[in-house]
Chain A
Amino acid sequence: MNELGASLEASSLSQLIKDVTWIIPLLQSIHIVTIGVVFVSSLMIAMRVLGRMRADEPFPVVWQRFAPWMWYGLIVMVVTGALLVVGGPVREFTAFSFWLKMALLAVAVIATFVFGRTFAAQGGGGAAPSTTRADAPAMPAGGVAAYAGAAGVGQGRSGSGGIADASGVARAVGVVSATGTSSHTAAVDAPRVASGSGVLDASGVAAAEFSPGAKAVAVGIIVVWLAVIFLGRAIAYDVEVWGSLSLHN
Chain B
Amino acid sequence: MSLVSVVQSIQDSGVAEWMRTSVKAMPIIEAIHVLAAATVFGTIFIVDLRLLGFPNTRRPFTRVSDEMLKLTWGAFFTALVTGALMFAANANTYYENTAFRFKMLALLLAGVNMAIFQLVTFRTVGGWNSDARPPSAARVAGMLSILVWLTVIFFARWIGFTKGYHFEAPPADVDFTF
Contacts and interface: CB of A to CB of B under 8 A. Distances in A.
Interface in A138-163: 138-140, 143, 147
A103 interface: no
Given A21-B161, A88-B169, A90-B170, A139 B58 contact: yes
Interface residues of A, number: 50
B161 A248 contact: no
A37 interface: yes
Q: How large is the interface on B (under 10, 10 to 19, 20 to 34, 35 or more residues)?
A: 35 or more
Given A93-B176, A248-B174, A237 B167 contact: yes
A26 interface: yes
A94 B174 contact: yes
A143 B41 CA distance: 28
B42 A41 contact: yes
A226 B130 contact: no
A65 to B, nearest CB: 5
A36 B71 CA distance: 13
Interface of B: 23-24, 26-28, 30-32, 34-35, 37-43, 45-46, 55-56, 58-60, 67, 71, 129-130, 132, 150, 153-154, 156-158, 160-161, 167, 169-170, 172, 174-178
Given A65-B56, A91-B169, A137-B60, 16 more contacts: A33-B150, A36-B39, A36-B42, A40-B43, A43-B71, A65-B55, A137-B129, A137-B130, A140-B132, A229-B35, A233-B30, A234-B27, A236-B27, A236-B167, A240-B24, A248-B170
